[in-house]
Amino acid sequence: MRHFPIFVALEDRNVVVSGGGDAALAKLRLLLRTKAAITVYAPDPAPDIIDWADAGCLTLVPRRLRAGDVHGAVLFYAADEDAAEDARTAAIANREGALVNIVDNLNDSAFITPAIVDRDPVTVAIGTEGAAPVLARAIKAELEARLPSTLGLLARIGQSFRHLADALPLGRARRDFWSDYYFKTGPRAAHDGADALRPALDALLNDHLSRKPRDGHVSFVGAGPGAPDLLTLRARRLLDEADVVIHDRLVPQAILDLARREAVMIDAGKQGFGPAMSQTEINALIVAHVAKGAQVVRLKSGDPTVFGRLDEELDAVTTAGHSYDIVPGLTAASAAVAAIGQSLTRRGRNASVRFLTGHDMQGFADHDWAALSRPGEVAGVYMGRKAARFIQGRMLMHGAARATPVTLVENASRPDQRIIATTLARMADDVAKAAPHGPVLTLMGLAPRAAAATLSDTREPRQEAY
């Protein structure tokens, strides 16, 4: 983040604009929505600026900006649309201590003006650090359409009601009340006009004051393979409502960012090095938060039921007598196989598919190698990076063809996704060479679609259907 977004208090503070053309007009239209004391320096001001000055909305000084003009101003806009003049006025403003924006000159500006969605007092500012103004405008248009025009009204009336809502206990009860107001009762009442809002708020508060506190609950939620838009809608909603999120190391920040800002975020990631939280500690942590009445999201990468030690946590929760639910997620094998344009099962090739772990509590995991080595078998190996040579040795020993296709997908579904296509004979060496850092899903018996034809010599699919 090269620019840090903040909201600047401008009421009765001085803002100076140099320039009287289109660039100045664009900035002034935004500035006039604030309560700033605006002064414009322009020898040749546009008619709108003269009108605003006549109406007392701003002060117009019909000459070029001079040293001393920016003293005491918080913000300064160099908007003369002339590089030399902008540099001159910006130098003055810099010396006189204002934050300077030079219109259309990102590099020499101390701040930039975002695209703004105005539902005063709710303001959404959109910035792309100058990289994609078109994108900012598109996001703005989308938000303009999505945010009801009554939002400002709701917020203003809600604000004046805040101290009354303080009668509700801090935390969930109060949050539930406000979310009810902003997203259900409020918009409905606002439809009938501002006068309907206040009584609706009173009734809503009474209703919430008479409610019993919610019991604690834990949702075991699958976060999917990493791409935020591969989350389920239910996962998204639960993240939005959670009091506490206990997550694995593999869950990327972009997904954690979807949780409520006030939610307690706990990283239960079992790091390879350094202090790791033991399974017993994680179980105890979940139970402790649920017992306090929290809505807990236990966020696991992929699907929580696949190599996620779900049962141990479920046992702890049910033993303690708490309620839970499980929200499935997209498992890494699904994302990996999609990345290579193949399917996990195929008529005439394999009527079953196995998910294996490369290692278990004892070390490298043992499997039914004879079955896995049969032609046409497909398996997704989780946590298999270090076990590559072991798996390769076992399968060759059990008669698997050396040319059996093997594809490793690192960081499946993420921007840094990498596909490493190899064969059983070469897999251990190719994994060592590729030295992946991210999570890897190994697909045994599958080649990326484009290369499938050249590797299919030993695995001509049988034609009969099953």
Q: How far apart are CA 466 and CA 345, in angstroms?
A: 11
Q: Does 14 bind ligand SAH (CB under 6 A)?
A: no
Q: Quick one: tokens of 147?
A: 């945010």
Stretch of 168-176, 303-311, 320-328, 392-400 lying at the interface with ligand SAH (CB under 6 A): 303-311
Tell whether residue 301 is a contact of ligand SAH (CB under 6 A): yes
* Closest approach of ligand SAH to the CB of residue 245, in Å: 16
Cβ distance 73 to 92 under 8 Å?
A: no
- Cβ closest to ligand SAH, residue 349 vs residue 414: 414
Looking at beta carbons only, is 331 or 342 nearer to ligand SAH? 331
User: Considering only 47-55, 300-308, 345-353, 396-404, which stretch makes contact with ligand SAH by CB under 6 A?
Assistant: 300-308
Question: CB of 382: closest distance to ligand SAH in angstroms?
Answer: 4
Identify residues 316-345 at the interface with ligand SAH (CB under 6 A): 331-332, 335-336
Does 413 bind ligand SAH (CB under 6 A)? Our answer is: yes
Interface pick for ligand SAH out of 19, 186, 216, 226 (rule CB under 6 A) = 226
Q: Is 181 in the site for ligand SAH (CB under 6 A)?
A: no
CB of 423 to ligand SAH, least distance (A): 20
DSSP code, position 182: I
Q: Which residues are catalytic?
A: 248, 270
Applying CB under 6 A, among 306, 421, 431, 447 the residue interacting with ligand SAH is: 306
CA distance 187 to 148: 8
Which region among 230-238, 314-322, 369-377, 409-417 touches ligand SAH (by CB under 6 A)? Answer: 409-417
Measure the CA–CA gap between 261 and 245, rounded to whole angstroms.
11
What is the distance between the alpha carbons of residues 114 and 124, in angstroms, rounded to a whole number? Answer: 9
Specify the DSSP element, H or E, that contains 379: strand 379-382
The CA radius of gyration of the chain, in Å to the nearest whole number, is 30
Of 82-90, 119-127, 178-186, 297-305, which part binds ligand SAH (CB under 6 A)? 297-305
Rounded Cα–Cα distance for residues 379 and 353 (Å): 6
Applying CB under 6 A, which part among 10-18, 137-145, 197-205, 438-446 lies near ligand SAH? 438-446
Residue among 31, 38, 440, 443 that touches ligand SAH (CB under 6 A): 440
The residue (of 266 and 335) whose beta carbon lies closer to ligand SAH is: 335
112, 125, 250, 284: residue in contact with ligand SAH (rule CB under 6 A): 250
Q: CB of residue 95 vs ligand SAH: minimum separation in angstroms?
A: 52
Restricted to residues 369-398, the positions that interact with ligand SAH (CB under 6 A) are: 382-383
Q: How far apart are CA 337 and CA 235, in angstroms?
A: 22
Q: Cβ contacts of residue 392 below 8 Å, gap of 6+?
A: 424, 425, 427, 428
- For the CA atoms of 11, 13, 19, 21, the dihedral, rounded to the nearest 10 degrees, stands at 10
Dihedral sign (CA 135, 140, 145, 151):
positive
Q: Is 407 in the site for ligand SAH (CB under 6 A)?
A: no
C-alpha to C-alpha distances, 355 to 166, 380, 425, 442, nearest whole angstrom: 52, 5, 21, 10
SS3 state at 89: helix
Q: Which is nearer to ligand SAH, 207 or 312 (CB)?
A: 312
Select from 275, 286, 274, 276 the least CA-distant residue to 312: 286
Does 295 sit near ligand SAH (CB under 6 A)? no
Partnered with residue 379 across adjacent β-strands are: 354, 444
For ligand SAH, which residue of 216, 302, 445, 448 counts as binding (CB under 6 A)?
Answer: 302
Give backbone dihedrals phi and psi of 442, rounded to 5 degrees, phi first: -100, 125
The one-character DSSP state at 251 is: S
Structure tokens at 153: 């009204």
Site for ligand SAH in 146-165 (CB under 6 A): none
Chain residues in the site for ligand SAH (CB under 6 A) = 225-226, 250, 300-303, 306-308, 331-332, 335-336, 382-383, 409, 411-414, 439-441
